[in-house]
Structure 1
Amino acid sequence: MIRTGAPRRLGVPSSEARLRFDTELQELGGGPRRRLLMVDDEPAFELSFYCGTCPLLFRRLEAAREKLSLESVQERLTGALADPDDGGVIDAFGALLPEGEYLPLLLSVEPRLVIPGKEGDYFSGEQVTTWGIDQFWGLPEYPHTPYYRTFETAVDADAHLYEFIVPMVPPTWNERGRVEEYVASMEQGTVPTAVAISTLDVCQPSLGLGEDPSVHWGLTHFLLDGHHKLEAAATAGRPVRLLSLLTLGESLAAAEDCARLPELRARPRSVRSTGQPTKQV
């Protein structure tokens, strides 16, 4: 299930936003620019580099320790939103974001919790197949956080869409009692709603790095509200509704790529097999 609204102008001046995007030099005197997601003026996540040929990245930094839930809309999020504009939720969370163009997406997701380096980890699996291991460290990229995988599908024969939900704080910080309450309500049929700010990064490897040199479309949802809901859904094997506010100005994707997301996200899930056509599951 996916519903989308028209692109909307949301947000406040960057200096007033609790969450914003920024860049900084990696080291004094030069070096590649780090692309950052900032929370309360502190670098919370390092994101994919601007070059477009580097691997997809979301790496949790030490300042990522704050959730951005809003008490004013909690009642509206206890069940499934029927429309992206339902109940003023977009405007409420828009006040946390930097001014810009956003595409609202209302998705149904079935999250699966992934631990870096363990089974199902994108960074030590699909990414290594395309880029190989990091040439300096001799290791796969490491995101420094558990995260959720939700969906993937073929874009075309040479490109694949991978979707992730990244919590602002690790699931181990969640309150056990609240997670168990959500598990119980989901087992009774409740489908709550979470909220995220999202990026689409289209990353194309240089030739000769890995065995499957495909283009990776990384749709990454940074969770603003719903940390307990996502863990409960992963535990219970139940769906949640996700209201995604996709930033059009800060994604590493062309406007026409972002415009394709509703159609791509509505396709059947399919897994990319190395060097083989994708397989629907």
Structure 2
Amino acid sequence: MLISAGPVQSLGTESEPRLRFGEDAKPDGAWRGRRFLWLGDKPAYELSFWCGTCAFLFERMEGANETCSIADVEHRLTDGLHDIDQDVVTRFSELLPRGDYLPLLLSVEPRLVRPSQPGDYFAEEQVAVWGMNNFWDLPENPRTPYYRTFGTRVDDGTHLFEFVVPMVPPSWNEAARVAAHAEALAERSTMTAVAVSILDICAPAANITGEYATHWALTHFLLDGNHKMQAAAQTGRPLRLLSLLSVDASLALPNQVARIPELRAGRFLA
């Protein structure tokens, strides 16, 4: 469910953001370098390649090893947001590079999935369109448990998939904090996590499997709320998610990013 969507805003810092989306060094003769979400000076996640015809990807790297919570707004997020809080948006945007962001406040019902187990997008919906990885003859491997939250039809042959990706695996979370959040979620559904997000639009260059389709992948990388997200998944209760959707870092046109509030307000059609 979409609770609120703000206008696109210019946010972030000009110098040394803690997180950034960008390109690795380009090998000699290559068109582009690999695309990453960087945490500090280390790649945290490898992302879909720039071409838009390769299969969608987020693959955890060794740099995804810490969370990005901000202590002085934690109480507000625990109480929960009822609308887009500009102060919270500004505080988290200080972790990010300067650019255009679309703030969204969503209600999500996360379902934890693991690579190559039931519900894994990479082993199911992606294989149905792109087939197996040509080299490994296996599905793409995100190398992390992750959460699925929403899906809907965009138009004929095009489907939106939504993912919430933790910066550390759920097994690193403190069990007592997860249990405390689970108890709190039983009383209120306004508790809020925070993410920086991208929209990657991918379609194969040719009909590989007989099920040609375009996939819109809306991916939220958790900045705050790893324990809350796990608690929501374990209890089956909704949780709110404040998303800062990067227009610049997405593999999508600005007018396609602008459709996300409309699509996210729609009915679940996974």
Q: TM-score over 0.5 for the alignment?
A: yes
Are 1:72 and 2:79 an aligned pair? no
Q: Following superposition of structure 1 onto structure 2, how do residues 68-147 of structure 1 map, counting pairs within 5 Å?
A: 68-85=68-85, 88-147=87-146
Aligned to 1:270, the other structure's residue is in SS state coil
Residue aligning to 1:61: 61
Give 1:136 deviation, angstroms. Answer: 1.2
1:199-278 superposed matches below 5 A: 199-271=198-270
For 1:259, the aligned partner's letter is: A
- Matched position secondary structure for 2:96: coil
Supply the distance in 1 between the matched residues of 2:100 and 2:28 (Cα, whole angstroms). Answer: 33
Instruction: Name the amino acid aligned to 2:259.
Output: R
Offset of 1:63 from its aligned partner? 1.2
How many residues matched? 268
The residue type paired with residue 239 of structure 2 is V
Instruction: State the Cα distance separating 1:191 from its structure 2 match.
Output: 3.0
Give the whole-Å Cα distance in 1 for the aligned partners of 2:158 and 2:34: 25
Cα offset, 1:157, TM superposition: 1.2
Q: By how many angstroms is 1:25 displaced? A: 3.8
SS of structure 2 residue aligned to 1:124: coil
**Separation of aligned partners in 1, 2:243 and 2:187:** 25
Query: Which amino acid in structure 1 is aligned with residue 11 of structure 2?
Result: L
Q: Residue 189 of structure 2 contacts residue 237 of structure 2 at CA under 8 Å; is this kept in 1?
A: no
Find the counterpart in structure 2 of residue 154 from structure 1: 153
Shift in Å, 1:29:
3.0
Q: Distance in 2 between matches of 1:172 and 1:61?
A: 16
Residue 191 of structure 2 corresponds to residue 179 of structure 1: no
Kindly indicate whether the alpha-carbon contact (under 8 Å) linking 1:80 and 1:193 is maintained by their aligned counterparts in 2. Answer: yes
Structure 2 residue runs without a partner (length 5+): none
Q: Secondary structure at the match of 1:72?
A: helix
Identity over aligned pairs, percent: 53
Q: TM-score, normalised by structure 2?
A: 0.96
Measured in 1, the distance between the counterparts of 2:64 and 2:177 equals 21
What amino acid is aligned across from residue 104 of structure 1 in structure 2? P
Secondary structure in 2 matching 1:208: coil
Q: Distance in 1 between matches of 2:78 and 2:268?
A: 27
CA distance in 1, matches of 2:79, 2:7: 23
Gapped regions of structure 1 (runs ≥ 5): 272-281
The Cα RMSD (Å) is 1.2
Matches of 1:207 and 1:236, distance apart in 2: 42
Cα distance in 2, alignment partners of residues 85 and 171 from structure 1: 27
Given residue 45 of structure 1, which amino acid in structure 2 is its aligned partner?
Y
Deviation, structure 1 residue 189: 3.0
